[in-house]
Structure 1
Amino acid sequence: MNSDDITAHSPSWAEQARHYWLQGDYTQAAALYEQAIANQPEVMSHYWHGGLMLLLQGDEAAAQTTWALAMMEGEAEQVQGWTLELSQVLEAEAERQEAISQPKTAWLIRQHLREIAPEDFTNCLRIVQLALTLETFTADDLANFHQSLQTVQADTIDTERLRTVLEQILEVAPDSPLIAEFIHSCLSVSCDAQPLIEVVMEAAGTAFRHEQPALAAQLALVCYRYKPHDLGISYLLSLYYQYSHQYSESIAIAREHYTRCQTLPKQIQGNFLLLRSLMIAGGHWQESLLLHEKHQLLLQTLLAEQPKDLHPSILQDILPSLYFFPYFTDTQPSDRQLQNQVAQFCQDSFQTAAAEQVKQFQQKVTQRRSSQPVQPLKIGYLSHCLRQHSVGWIARWLFKYHNQEQFQIHAFSMQSRQNDSVEQFITHHCDRVEDVSTLEPVTIAQKIAQAEIDILVDLDSLTSSIACAVMALKPAPVQVSWLGLDASGLPAIDYFIADPYVLPESAQAEYSETLWRLPQTYVAVDGFEVAVPSRRRDLLDIPNDAVVYFSSQRGFKRHPDSVRLQMQILNAVPNSYFLLKGDGDPETIRQFFEQLAEEEGVASDRLRFLPWANSETIHRANLGIANVVLDTYPYNGATTTLETLWMGVPLVTRVGQQFAARNSYTMMINAGITEGIAWSDEEYVEWGIRLGKDTALREQISWKLRQSRHTAPLWNAKQFTREMEKAYQQMWVRYLEESK
């Protein structure tokens, strides 16, 4: 077709050009537009489409030349109109390319459109989306996009598309150095920032669930600065700071948060947030004690007022807010009474809010009930700690030795999968593992009911607000608490696993749950993995003939009364040193210990503060540097005690009334050791001094502990599993009998 044909038969050549265009034959289409330009140079659309055909062939330079040639002789007003026409042509073709699944071509066209119309922010958004789709999004792309945000007018922004783009960027580059500034710009230019804030806070929650608390805090901080009065944001920001070891920041945000809490339920939540921040940092005992007393009064007021229709986020935090009570005092009866009453209130509230679901659970249980025991029994374990965690290290042995002919084992994990060695071990020994980390309590309970779990075992207790809410809904006919902490007090939980030592017979009167005592021990392991030590006395400037006391606990276990006793021991044993290791604010804890040491006449140069070990296996190996481990009170060690005994190190523990004050006692008894068990503060000091001075006694205890590995109940996880399984079967039989 020659130029005369184009002039004479314009419609036909245009149709032919479009046909080639849509068929992807851009060379033929470009040739027709080139002839059209030569024959009708005054028709500007020929240049726009001709240049586009060249661009689609990949000849970007020729395309730009074609467009520039058309605009070269135009006046400013004409060029402005032509630019708009060209932009419309490119926009239409970019959309067509996206529709036919050609994102790379669409991205190329939009890049040229950006050069022609840099003020078109919607096009910038589409470029970012295409780069994300193509997985080519880079830091430079983010920087360019951020630059575009600086000039955009808020009323020209497609907020929904911006929300989508922000969500996608946070999925692929949440930790970019520019991300905080970029989010701030997004919030600043948006007419409605709330949808964007929700996206950012969801990304922060995802980072937190994937054990990236520092990133979670960074994201939440941007939202907090934009909406400082939003209690939901400030609450989470303080938590994220806690878990990322930014202790002073956590405390500061928690203080601000509490000042804005107006209602009683929010005051309970806010007071606990501040108390938690101080306790986790460690060393803030005077203020913490005042907050603890205040918290008791707040909870008593709650019980008196019985508020209705509490928001789930508030309600879920009320029962776990008693978490720190056993760290302050060993007043078992009064604390348990208050905890049981709060648990009853929370359970009633949970069940009222989810009445229809609870009714469905009960109907499902009734339909399954029979006069004969079910074989195999379906046992469900609920926890956020089925990984490298104290609970995971201990519970893994139960999973290993379960009789899978008599029991079907299900695990409901409330922690995003980390695929660490413990999680893999547990998963291998389960019939089914469900990740419920992103689900609400009601949905988790529904999954448990749908799985037809016969006996549901809670491993978390007050350490998890979600677990408390799930257990309160009673999704399984028999519910049990074990391992994670003392019993929660929820009436929906039927049994709490104990033994003859960790809770005396008289304790039953203080529990709403039935105490199910296993014959010897409520916990047992086959041992622990141990690496190569990383600590040496000479590197710590400690003489080889010195007596080394050791304590490895978190800051909130360091009760000042207990620390004073430890300092009295140190003061009475010449040439002794105290190694201290644990989580918390290093500077605050150092000041706390040095002040108490000074008050008890101990020079601060006899204290050694150790950083947290790189791994649990190295921590256990490093226990060998110690002559004696000094336990904490009123909250004893648990996993730390097991590790100490496994490594053959003598331990001094103070036995109390409450469950938390009797953990080390039962473990020592079940390891065949009574030396170091103290029933009073005076005995604690006496044992500490005696073990520090009596080398022969220490060696005798170490020998007994090494021998106990072959005979003691504490180190026989297989036998322990048989006892647990026997308990499950008896619980089920009792349930069937009571259901008749």
Structure 2
Amino acid sequence: MSFPYETDWENNADKLLLSEEYASAAKIYEDKILVEPNVKSHYWKLGILLLLQGQELEAHFAWSLGIGEATLEEVNEWTEDLCKLLLKEALRQEDLKRYRNAWLIRQHIREIDTDNFDNLVQIIYLSLHLKILTDELIQDLKILEILELNHSGTNIENNSVLQLVQNVLASDLNYELQLEIVSLTLPYIKDVSCFIELIAPIAYKLSDVNLEIATKFINIGLKISPNNQELIGYLVGFYLQYQQFSKALEVARKATSRNDNLINKILADFCLLNALVSAGGRWEEILSVSQHQKTLLPLLDYQNFNDISSHLFISRFFAPYIDDNPKDIRVNQNQISSLCLEKVQQVYQQPVDYFKSQNLSKRSNRIVKPLKIGYLSNCLRKHSIGWLARWLFSFHDREQFQIYGYFLNYHQNNSDHLQEWYSKQVYKSYRVGIESIGSTLDICNQISQDGIDILVDLDSLTYMNSCEIVSLKPAPVQVTWLGFDASGIPAIDYFIADPYVLPESAQTYYSEKIWRLPQTYIAVQGFECGVPTIHRSQLDIPEDAVIYFTGQRGYKRHPDNIRLQMKILKNVPNSYLLIKGVSDANSTEELFFRLAESEGVDCDRLKFLPLTMSELEHRANLTIADVVLDTYPYNGATTTLETLWMGIPIVTRVGEQFASRNSYTMMLNAGLVEGIAWTDEEYVEWGVKLGTDSQLRLEITWKLKESRKSAPIWNARQFAKEMEKAYQQMWEIYTN
């Protein structure tokens, strides 16, 4: 952008400005001032050229010469003209990404027009780019006073306020100052949804490092949007993350009493279920809320969607924990996921069309070497998924496959060595974390630009962002593996399973094509183990007693299953049950004690263990158990593999759904059939048998130790080959 010249000398000065020959351009204006001393614009433009050379005092002198002995009215008129020219040059410098020059010019605009809010916001934006934004600079700009006092004549536009919020939240300013600024912007916000889109991600990302600040940000959002289920969901999740179960329940229950439409009602029920099952023990209320939510689902249709609600993807997340009824649960999930996908694709119609055209262009590439495989997850760290998926990453054939990692919720500068390990195993990584907020479209564009052939979603319904990303279909072939049961999102082509974890009949209620690997859908090379930190004597358990163990989160503590465990204890004299897992201690103990008393079991035989400091310590402490009792209708997965690796007998109840057949396939693939129950009665029988037959326990332990040599579940190298073969076949199907 240039000054509006009309003569040759002005054109010459303009060209010199554009070529950054500021001294030569300034000389032209100095000469013109001698000829035309009354033309004020010459002084303004000369001052700008001097300013661009770093001659601030000289620039001020030129401007003051221009003003001279002017009247107040003339001064106001001329300074307004000067401000306009300064603003034009500042914008030009910003377009050229010369942020230092733009920042300097805007500081001079500020001296002339102190309360120009737009200019102050842009100074903050430029300071952020220049990495000079500090608490002191904010105080010096007096942005807080302007927001708080709303000076007479101050024009504060919604877009400027939103830009201010965005810049402040992207900065390293003190959290309390950020909160104060954001809170003061509330009276000026007209676009509430955009404001929430700025608040929610930063609050989520701060929740891992500062719960108090994260909740304060959410509460600011709730002031302007009190029934926003997304914010309420975040707040409930934050409290659960820090095991503040009573606060989570309080927020969730309040939300259910004030919802105002169908979507909000479904999401409010989800939030309350999240709090209830996480705390554990409150099963009457859990069943009631789940049934209420289920009655709302048939009313759901496309017309109910006013905008994207990522939480809706996972609104039925807890159904498999409550009931083993996959035909019903999968139909509901498929319906919800299909509706959500339609809305997401409508909102992102243009990029969806672009990704589709890019994907179709790959059909002609019948031979791709190496295949580009992208893994999408927020769990490639110290997490169950992280511990299990690492073996596939270790044994991938880098000549045949180029591996990309899309790390959601990535934490910089922490002690998570597993996360760092993953980032080094990939050809290229894209990290979205506390320090960098990547939108759904940003991540999808990256996947498309990287030319990913097969995108593997490890999160499924455990992470809302992943649901949105795969819905846009940025890769030609998309697969769900490992993280959870299938998502039901129509943009997913395959769900990886094996012959045991899903029966043949399952395809009738899955929208994805079930791709069964020949033996097992997961294999590991083993687990690291530490040193035990508990002993029978510490727990007042006799040396000759039989110890049962169950270790799961509150989610999986179904009362029907606990009742079966009490029956086992009742029929095995001198036996004890160790209980461990994240949940509300009081309500969990109350549930177990109540069911123990109902079955005639002395509550002193129940021992509640604290959480351990590390996974290595947890695995070592498993050796105190004689028998592990699995949960139902939602089995263990990582916990089952750890139990088998440590050589401990396990009793599992096999059901119909994916979640109730995990332990079954893992035990079979470890060469073990002892402990597999197909009914509640068999579950109790196996529990009693393994508790009373010490010789059988020894035989199972020996069998499990021997299985490490050849069983499919421990042959991660062979498993990697089977996964890679599946990828190649999927690609062949796509390109043929």
TM-score by length of 2: 0.76
Residues 651, 354 of structure 1: CA spacing in aligned structure 2 closer, same or farther, 3 A cutoff? same
- AA aligned opposite 2:313: L
Relative to 1, partners in 2 of residues 1:188 and 1:549: Cα closer, same or farther, differing over 3 Å?
same
Shift of 1:578: 1.2
Q: Residue 174 of structure 1: CA displacement?
A: 7.7
Residue 256 of structure 1 deviates from its aligned partner by 2.1
For the residue of structure 2 that corresponds to 1:307, the secondary structure is: helix
* CA–CA separation in structure 2 for the residues paired with 1:99 and 1:733: 53
The residue correspondences of 1:619-630 to structure 2 (distance < 5 A) are 619-630=618-629
1:128 offset after TM fit, Å? 12
Are the equivalent residues in 2 in contact too, given 1:656–1:662 (CA < 8 A)? yes
Judge conservation of contact 2:362–2:735 (CA < 8 Å) in 1: no
In 2: Cα distance, 1:194 partner to 1:590 partner: 49
Whether the 8 Å CA contact 2:372–2:403 is kept in 1: the answer is: yes
Provide the residue aligned with 1:715 in structure 2.
714
Task: Say which is worse superposed, 185-194 or 725-734, in terms of deviation.
Answer: 185-194
Identify the match of residue 343 of structure 2 among 349, 355, 377.
Answer: 349
* Aligned residue in 2 for 1:298: 296
Seen in structure 2, the aligned counterparts of structure 1 residues 170 and 545 have a Cα distance that, compared at 3 Å, is: farther
What corresponds to 1:379 in structure 2?
373
Letter in 2 for 1:247: F
Structure 2 residue 650 is matched with structure 1 residue 658:
no
CA displacement at 1:407 relative to structure 2: 0.6
SS in 2 for 1:727: helix
Q: Match of 1:270?
A: 268
Q: Quick one: which amino acid aligns to residue 646 of structure 2?
A: M
Partner of 1:391, secondary structure, is helix
2:680 equivalent to 1:681: yes
1:409 alignment partner, SS class = strand
1:232-243 alignment to 2 at 5 Å? 232-243=230-241
Unaligned runs of 5+ in 2: 1-53, 58-98, 112-116
Q: Is the 8 A contact 1:149 1:186 kept in 2?
A: no
User: Shift of residue 605 of structure 1?
Assistant: 1.8
Partner of 2:425: 429
Structure with max Cα Rg: 1
Of the candidates 394, 404, 408, which is equivalent to residue 398 of structure 2? 404
Asked whether the equivalents of residues 124 and 133 of structure 2 are also in contact (C-alpha less than 8 Å), the reply is no
Equivalent residue runs for 1:440-451 within 5 Å:
440-451=439-450
The range that moved more, 664-673 or 532-541, is 532-541
Residue 206 of structure 1 corresponds to 202
> Which residue is 2:280 aligned to?
282
Cα deviation, 1:457-505, whole Å, max 9, x if unaligned, reads 1111111222222222222221211101111122222211111111122
**In 1, distance between residues paired with 2:147 and 2:519?**
72
Provide structure 1 residue ranges, at least 5 long, that are not aligned to the other structure. Answer: 1-21, 26-97, 111-120
Q: CA RMSD in A?
A: 4.0
- Residue 614 of structure 2 is matched in structure 1 by 615
| 1:246–1:135 distance in 2 versus 1, CA, 3 Å | farther
User: Which shows bigger deviation, 231-240 or 651-660?
Assistant: 231-240
2:496 equivalent in structure 1: 497
- The correspondence for 1:322, drawn from 316, 323, 326, is 316
Once the two structures are TM-superposed, the CA of residue 544 in structure 1 deviates from its matched residue by 2.0
Matched-pair contact (CA < 8 Å) for 2:199–2:221: no
State the SS of the aligned residue for 1:485. Answer: coil
Distance in 2 separating the partners of 1:151 and 1:475 = 42
Amino acid at match of 2:259: C
3-state SS of the aligned residue for 1:497?
A: strand
Identify the range of structure 1 (160-169 vs 566-575) with the bigger mean alpha-carbon deviation: 160-169
Kindly tell me: are residues 158 and 255 of structure 1, through their superposed partners in 2, closer, same or farther at Cα, counting changes over 3 Å? Answer: farther
Following superposition, the deviation at residue 573 of structure 1 comes to 1.4
CA deviations on 1:336-356 (whole Å, 9 max, x unpaired) are 222223332222332233222
Query: Distance in 2 between the 1:127 and 1:411 partners?
Result: 36
CA distance in structure 2 between the aligned counterparts of 1:337 and 1:208, rounded to whole angstroms: 31
Paired residue for 2:188?
192
User: What is the CA–CA distance in structure 2 between the aligned matches of 1:193 and 1:346, rounded to whole Å?
Assistant: 28
| Residue identity in the other structure for 1:277 | A
- Is the partner of 1:369 in helix, strand or coil? helix
**What residue identity is the alignment partner of 1:261?**
N
User: Which secondary structure does the structure 2 equivalent of 1:276 belong to?
Assistant: helix
Establish whether residue 361 from structure 1 lines up as the match of residue 360 from structure 2.
Answer: no
The alpha-carbon deviation at position 644 of structure 1 amounts to 0.8
SS at match of 2:406: strand
User: Hey, what's the Cα distance between the residues in 1 that align with 2:565 and 2:688?
Assistant: 10
Deviation digits for residues 139-168 of structure 1, max 9, x if unmatched?
Answer: x9999999x989974547997999999888
> What displacement does 1:447 show?
2.1
- Cα distance in structure 2, aligned partners of 1:197 and 1:731: 40
Contact 1:201 1:219 survives alignment (8 Å)? no
Q: Which residue of 2 aligns with 1:68?
A: none
More displaced stretch, 187-196 vs 433-442: 187-196
Cross-structure match for 1:80: none
- In structure 1, what is the equivalent of residue 86 of structure 2? none
1:668 matched to which residue of 2? 667
In structure 2, relative to structure 1, the CA distance for the partners of 1:528 and 1:144 (3 Å cut) is: farther
Q: Do the aligned partners of 2:186 and 2:224 also contact (CA within 8 Å) in 1?
A: no
1:726 and 2:722 aligned: no
The one-letter code of the counterpart of 1:504 is P
Deviation digits for residues 701-735 of structure 1, max 9, x if unmatched? 11111121111111111110000001111111122
Question: Following the alignment from structure 1 to structure 2, what is the Cα–Cα distance between the partners of residues 244 and 189?
Answer: 29
Deviation at 1:430, TM superposition (A): 0.9
> Deviation digits for residues 295-319 of structure 1, max 9, x if unmatched?
22211111xx43165311x2x2223
- The equivalent of 1:55 in structure 2 is none
Q: State whether residues 166 and 196 of structure 1, in contact with CA within 8 Å, keep that contact through their aligned partners in structure 2.
A: no
2:330 aligned partner: 336
How many angstroms apart in 1 are the aligned matches of 2:592 and 2:285?
17
Distance across 1 between alignment mates of 2:613 and 2:198: 30
CA distance in 2, matches of 1:187, 1:512: 45
Query: 1:579–1:607: 8 Å Cα contact kept in structure 2?
Result: yes
What's the counterpart of residue 248 of structure 2? Answer: 250
**Identity across aligned pairs (percent)?**
45
Change (3 A) 1:185 1:150: farther
**Shift in Å at residue 645 of structure 1?**
0.8
Q: What is the CA–CA distance in structure 2 between the aligned matches of 1:670 and 1:393, rounded to whole Å?
A: 18
- C-alpha change, 1:351 and 1:24, in structure 2 (3 Å) is closer
User: Which residue is 2:453 aligned to?
Assistant: 454
State the match for 2:569 in structure 1.
Answer: 570
> Residue in 1 aligned with 2:219?
221
In the superposition, relative to structure 1, how do residues 597 and 387 fare at CA in structure 2: closer, same or farther (>3 Å)? same
CA distance in 1, matches of 2:702, 2:287: 41
The question of whether the paired residues in 2 share the 8 Å contact of 1:207 and 1:213 is answered with no
What is the CA-CA distance between 1:243 and the residue it aligns to? 2.0
Partners of 1:150 and 1:292 lie apart in 2 by: 49
Deviation at 1:218, TM superposition (A): 3.9
Determine whether 1:439 maps to 2:475. no
Question: In structure 1, how many angstroms separate the alpha carbons of the residues matched to 2:302 and 2:428?
Answer: 40
Confirm or deny: 8 A CA contact 2:529 2:616 kept in the other structure.
Answer: yes
CA contact (8 A) 2:192 2:225 kept: no
Residue-by-residue CA offset, 1:17-68 (whole Å, 9 max, x unaligned) = xxxxx9999xxxxxxxxxxxxxxxxxxxxxxxxxxxxxxxxxxxxxxxxxxx
Using the TM superposition, give the Cα deviation of residue 334 of structure 1 relative to its aligned residue in structure 2, in angstroms.
Answer: 2.2
Residue 416 (structure 1) aligned with residue 410 (structure 2): yes
The question of 1:542 aligning with 2:538 is answered: no
Shift of 1:656: 0.6
Residue identity matched to 1:334: D
Match of 1:691 in 2: 690
Q: Residue by residue, what CA displacement relative to the aligned partner does 1:244-271 show, whole Å, maximum 9, x if unpaired?
A: 2222212211222233322212222222
Query: Matches of 1:154 and 1:415 in 2, distance apart?
Result: 38
* Equivalent residues of 2:457, 2:479 under 8 A apart: yes
Matched residue type, 2:214:
A
Alignment-mate amino acid for residue 219 of structure 1: F
Q: Which residue of 2 aligns with 1:48?
A: none
CA distance in 1, matches of 2:193, 2:691: 57
Question: Per the alignment, do residues 498 and 310 of structure 1 end up closer, same or farther by CA in structure 2, a change over 3 Å counting?
Answer: same
| Cα distance in 1 between the residues matched to 2:100 and 2:721 | 62
Cα deviation for residue 655 of structure 1 reads 0.4
Q: Given the superposition, is the C-alpha separation of residues 244 and 169 from structure 1 closer, same or farther in structure 2, using an over 3 Å criterion? A: farther
